[in-house]
Amino acid sequence: MYGYLCAMKNLRHSTLPQLEELMQEIGEPRFRAIQVYEWIWKKFAGDIQDMTNLSKSLREKLSANYFIPKVKTHHSQYSSDGTIKNRLQLHDDYFIESVLIPTDKRFTACVSSQVGCSLSCKFCATGYLPRKRNLDYDEIVDEVVLLNEQSQKHYGKNLTNIVFMGMGEPLLNYKNVLQAIDKITSPDSLGMSPRRITVSTAGIAKMITQLGDDEVRFKLAISLHAATDAKRNEIMPINETNNLRALIVALNHFYKKTGNEITFEYILFKDFNDSLEDADDLVKVYRQVPADLVNIIEYNPIENARFQKPEDDKVAQFMQYLESKNVNAHLRRSRGKDIDAACGQLANVDKAEA
Is residue 159 a contact partner of residue 109, using CB atoms and an 8 Å limit? yes
- Detail the DSSP E strand segments found in the chain: 9-10, 66-67, 72-78, 84-89, 95-102, 107-110, 114-115, 133-134, 161-164, 197-201, 219-223, 262-268, 293-298, 329-332
DSSP state of 42: T
DSSP state of 54: S
The burial of 312, by beta-carbon neighbours within 10 Å (0-12 exposed, 13-18 middle, 19 or more buried), is given as exposed
DSSP string, 303-336: TT----PPPHHHHHHHHHHHHHTT--EEEEPPS-
Fill in the amino acid letter for 266: Y
d(CA 41, CA 50): 13
d(CA 166, CA 312): 26
User: Is 97 an active-site residue?
Assistant: yes
Catalytic residue among 110, 117, 124, 343: 343
Catalytic residue among 97, 139, 169, 265: 97
Longest dimension (CA), the chain: 72
Task: Enumerate the active-site residues.
Answer: 97, 343
